[in-house]
Amino acid sequence: MSHNPMPNQIAIAAIQQACSPDKAASLAVTEKLVREAATNGAGLIILQELHATLYFCQTEDTSVFELAEPIPGPTSKRLADLARELGIVLVGSIFERRMNGVYHNTAVVFEKDGTLAGLYRKMHIPDDPGFYEKFYFTPGDAQFNDGRSGFTPIETSVGKLGVLVCWDQWYPEAARLMALAGAEILIYPTAIGWDVTDDPDEQARQLEAWVTVQRGHAVANNLPVVAPNRVGTEPDPSGQTDGIRFWGNSFICGPQGEFLARADDRSECILAVTLDRNRSESVRRIWPYLRDRRIDAYGDILKRVRD
């Protein structure tokens, strides 16, 4: 039986876009950018969080549940068809209706033939002013029925993808567990922005914190990180605030946290880089963090607080 090894070089692209109240319009922009990235050679293309809709979590509104879809469903079928037509691995995002009363913020990964390689349901769910996600999303299962951890990489023809979502990006535990399970890339589809009334210094601190913590996950786990975010100002449907200005700044960094590509804070764009699958191995030989972990001393990490 012949064995076709994975290529050492992976051409990847991250899509940064603005979104529309019209799901069809948002998906049309997504498809246009995906086609352009594929034409330019990307074999793995990653979309931002909830790319088919506005970020609807600024308010709590039961009518929004009408946007949710099952998997498979119309949006997943469109993404699957696109992956198959273009021969790419595609990471998308769906507001998933799992059953009556159970909805998830779900990343989906489609293989080059359009099959569903796997999905990841967002584990950490925020509930902050303007980001009322606990109203809409049930956290992903800590363990699947077959015994796998919720933090399990998705196996694809371009490698094992450690797919997480937005608020997950602040948690070193999530990144570490994906790395320990063999993830070759950490992927964070994102929707994050500024309260437009915050002063520029506060906005700068928030943005730099977001970039820094994710580059830290790259360094601490010797893995590349891909973080696509949206752009554009989206109004608060309640009219009580001035809305959210999504800050873009999508980026791809290497296993030492080095920037490979970074977007600005306002443009729809495609970030494209080629990753060397051998790079993490070579970095781990000189910075062997995983060798020196003191797993015998970490028991208290499973406590909420240490009394």
Q: Across the strands, what pairs with 143?
A: 149
Told to judge if 49 belongs to the known catalytic residues of this protein, a careful annotator would answer yes
Pick the more confident residue, 1 or 183: 183
Token code pair at residue 201: 């210094």
pLDDT tens by residue, 183-212: 999 999 999 999 989 999 999 999 999 999
pLDDT tens by residue, 75-127: 999 999 999 999 999 999 999 999 999 999 999 999 999 999 999 999 999 99
Of 166, 234, 253, 269, which one is the catalytic site residue? 166
Of 57, 96, 122, 133, which one is the catalytic site residue? 122
Told to judge if 160 belongs to the known catalytic residues of this protein, a careful annotator would answer no
Bridge-based pairing state of the strands 231-234 and 251-253: unpaired
Fold of the domain built from segment(s) 9-293: Nitrilase/N-carbamoyl-D-aminoacid amidohydrolase (3.60.110)
Bridge-based pairing state of the strands 9-16 and 269-276: antiparallel
Please report which confidence band the pLDDT of residue 231 belongs to, taking 50, 70 and 90 as the band edges: very high
Of 49, 69, 184, 234, which one is the catalytic site residue? 49
Q: Across the strands, what pairs with 290?
A: none
Tell me what pLDDT residue 5 has. Answer: 66
H helices present in 151-223, as ranges = 172-180, 200-221
Token code pair at residue 223: 């893995």
Q: Where are the domains of the chain?
A: 9-293
Report the alpha-carbon distance of residue 138 to residue 150 in Å, rounded. Answer: 13
Told to judge if 77 belongs to the known catalytic residues of this protein, a careful annotator would answer no
pTM of the model: 0.95
pLDDT tens by residue, 23-43: 999 999 999 999 999 999 999
Phi-psi region of 249 (alpha: psi -120 to 50; beta: other; left: phi over 0): left
